[in-house]
C-alpha cells in the first residue's frame, strides 16, 4: 500500500466497512479538537494542535489509537479488556468501537496540550 499524503487518502485505502469506522473516529476526534490540523505522521492519521494530540491507524485485525502514555494511563481503568501498551490502545475490528471513550481520550489530550501552552 502506498503512503497516503492526507488523512482522507489514508482512509480511502481500506474496505468500505473500515472506511466507515475510520471516518467515525475522525469525526469523533474532530468534535473535541476542532482546531487541530489533520496530517499523516508515522504512517498514521494524526491530529496536531501545538503537538501531536492523537494518532489512529488501521492494522490487520484492529484499529490502533495512540494518545501517548499519559492518555493510556489516564483511562487505564476503562481500557481493561483492550490490549494496551505504553502509548497505544488496540480496538478489535470484530467488536464494537467505543467511540464515546475515544472522544473522552481525545478531549483529555486536548486539555493536556492546552495546559502546556505558554500563557
pLDDT in tens, 2-25: 689 999 999 999 999 999 999 999
Give residue 56's Cα distance to chain centre.
4
114 or 97: which carries more pLDDT confidence? 97
Cα gap 44→65, rounded to integer Å: 9
pLDDT score for 117: 76
When comparing pLDDT for 1 and 83, which is higher? 83
For the whole model, what pTM was predicted? 0.94
Q: Which of 94, 6, 82, 22 is nearest to 58 (CA)?
A: 22
Question: In the predicted model, what is the mean pLDDT of residues 39-68?
Answer: 96
Q: Tell whether the model's pLDDT for residue 82 goes beyond 80.
A: yes
Domains and CATH numbers, the chain: 7-116 (3.90.1150.200)
Residue 37: Cβ within 10 Å count = 11
Amino acid at each position: 500500500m502506498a503512503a497516503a499524503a492526507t488523512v482522507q487518502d489514508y482512509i480511502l485505502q481500506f474496505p468500505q466497512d473500515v472506511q466507515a469506522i475510520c471516518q467515525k473516529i475522525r469525526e469523533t476526534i474532530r468534535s473535541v479538537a476542532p482546531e487541530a490540523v489533520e496530517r499523516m505522521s508515522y504512517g498514521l492519521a494524526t491530529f496536531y494542535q501545538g503537538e501531536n494530540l492523537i494518532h489512529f491507524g488501521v492494522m490487520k485485525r484492529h484499529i490502533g489509537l495512540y494518545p501517548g502514555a499519559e492518555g493510556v494511563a489516564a483511562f487505564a481503568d476503562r481500557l481493561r479488556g483492550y490490549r494496551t501498551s505504553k502509548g497505544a490502545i488496540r480496538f478489535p475490528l470484530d467488536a464494537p468501537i467505543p467511540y464515546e471513550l475515544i472522544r473522552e481520550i481525545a478531549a483529555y489530550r486536548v486539555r493536556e496540550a492546552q495546559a502546556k501552552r505558554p500563557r
